[in-house]
A and B are shown apart, each in its own frame.
Chain A
């Protein structure tokens, strides 16, 4: 982003007119990538340059009352706020406008505030002294307001730097923000910058505390982040538990895994889900293929791998006819086609389901549906290998309510 400093509202209007002419005559388009800083409101702003990303206006006092903002600045702020996301008030070091007036105006619409230092001041200069007083006054006003929604530079940049240090970061510079660099680092000079840092430390010590306060804040925020994360996951675990049948294809296998591994339902679901995802991750890594327009990988090599496994199974039982017979018998025994009717209580689970339920110490319906889900999982591999067709579904039998299917 480019920074342009020291413009007036009249000049911005000229820039807009030139750009608008170019856009009309030559079709030129302008990217919003320029930061106009320290704009002086010689008139009320009427046009915003087409390339403006952010604007900051220099605070000017009202001619009638030096403690209040001028009308030109107020009207310029209102226009800019309606058009741009980032609008700032630049408070010069010798401003006579009351800090509370500036901060209230900024709070009312979410403008940021920049406290502008004098240019390369001498260490013992009156200008630097005035600037330090300005920092103290704004620091007290801003940091004393817990409901504040705005930022006040350079105090905020320095606090963020100290927070980063407290968190373990070792930044090479106080800020990487180009506006901060332009307004402070390049304007003040190194010696004056050190003097300003001393004042900022003093303000921060008075209104926030020493380094331990920053460490405490980092820890408190870290705890809040961890709490948010845990509450988020707990809410999702509850959703998954309550909607297991609607949200997973193998709810009864998940129930069995949960019962036999002492995992909670969400963790058992996660175990099966991540096992499947893990297999696909490995397959996609070693046997990648082209992706279609929907981003779905369609790998002939993975299909060949599945076919190899299916062919092995077919050969092991003596040929395709024997395999079809065996698979058909297994599906019939597991009542795969009747999965909807069993789930809705319209078909009674058969002997295989009863045996599974007894062996796994669960109720017959869960055992029956878990067996079907396991058959579908295995079937999906044979299906990918071309050995079997997708599992059929028997016609749903009507229930007393007359509802045939849900979803």
Chain B
């Protein structure tokens, strides 16, 4: 087990270093080929994963997630990274009845203020 993995500040520094590396457009030679279940069952990974939710680390991870994700070679053969899923948390507030407005920034903002007009 890494001596660093449990140290919050060092995890924060690792994220900072990874974010800087990702922002520089460097493709890491590291590969993450494990399944989600395998990663979740790895105690070291789970420990760091929990630390990623802590304040000051969480916003850095989330604001750099796209670059961080693309930095590593992974075993993802799924397509759950589509734009709809990324946006789904705010879709409830949109006008879901209007195919023309689906995904429109305007309807998202308007819906956030005035509520959705879902007819189902």
Which residues of A come within 8 Å of B, CB atoms?
143, 145-151, 156, 159-160, 163-164, 166-169, 171, 207-209, 213-214, 216-231, 233-234, 236-237, 239-240, 243, 245-251, 263, 266-267, 269-271, 273-274, 276-277, 280, 294-296, 340, 343, 373, 376-377, 380, 383-384, 405-407
Contact = CB atoms under 8 A, between A and B. Distances in A.
Nearest to B64: A225
Interface string B18-41: 101100101111101010100110
Interface in B76-116: 76, 78-86, 88-89, 91-92, 96-100, 102-106, 109-110, 115-116
Contacts of A277: 83, 103
Contacts of A267: 78-80, 82
A279 to B, nearest CB: 11
19 contacts: A160-B16, A167-B18, A216-B2, A220-B2, A220-B5, A221-B14, A226-B39, A229-B69, A233-B81, A233-B86, A236-B88, A240-B88, A248-B91, A249-B97, A249-B98, A249-B102, A266-B85, A270-B83, A406-B118
Contacts of A383: 100
A294 B109 contact: yes
A145 B76 CA distance: 36
Q: Give the interface centre of B26, B68, B120 by most chain A CB atoms within 10 Å.
A: B120
Nearest to A239: B88
Contacts of B6: 146
B30 A407 contact: no
Q: Give the interface centre of B20, B98, B119 by most chain A CB atoms within 10 Å.
A: B119
The size class of the interface chain B forms with chain A is 35 or more
A262 to B, nearest CB: 12
A104 B11 CA distance: 20
Contacts, number: 230
Q: Give the interface centre of A145, A168, A214, A239 by most chain B CB atoms within 10 Å.
A: A168
Contacts of A234: 36, 80
B5 A217 contact: yes
Contacts of A167: 17-18, 21, 26, 28
A78 B120 CA distance: 56
Nearest to A167: B21
A245 B92 CA distance: 10
Nearest to B54: A149
Nearest to B116: A407
B40 A227 contact: yes
B20 A237 contact: no
Given A234-B36, A247-B92, A217 B10 contact: yes
Given A164-B20, A294-B106, 16 more contacts: A146-B6, A171-B20, A208-B3, A217-B14, A220-B48, A222-B68, A225-B68, A228-B52, A228-B61, A229-B69, A237-B80, A250-B102, A266-B82, A267-B79, A273-B84, A407-B117
Nearest to B29: A168
Given A168-B26, A246-B96, A249-B102, A223 B85 contact: no
B21 A237 contact: no
Contacts of B32: 219, 222-223, 226
Interface string B41-84: 01011101101100000000100010011011010101111111
Nearest to B14: A221
Contacts of A225: 15, 18, 52, 61, 65, 68-69
Contacts of A405: 119
Q: Give the interface centre of B48, B109, B110 by most chain A CB atoms within 10 Å.
A: B48
A169 B20 contact: yes
Contacts of A251: 120
B106 to A, nearest CB: 4
B4 A213 contact: yes
A169 B118 contact: no
A163 B8 contact: no
Contact of B120 (A227, A266, A271, A343): A343
B66 to A, nearest CB: 9
B84 A270 contact: yes
Contacts of B103: 273, 276-277, 280
A373 B89 CA distance: 23
B14 A146 contact: no
A143 B7 contact: yes
Contact of A213 (B3, B26, B82): B3
B7 A249 contact: no
A296 B106 contact: yes
B42 A223 contact: yes
Contacts of B68: 222, 225, 229
Q: Give the interface centre of A171, A224, A380 by most chain B CB atoms within 10 Å.
A: A224
A233 B3 contact: no
A221 B84 contact: no
A148 B8 contact: yes
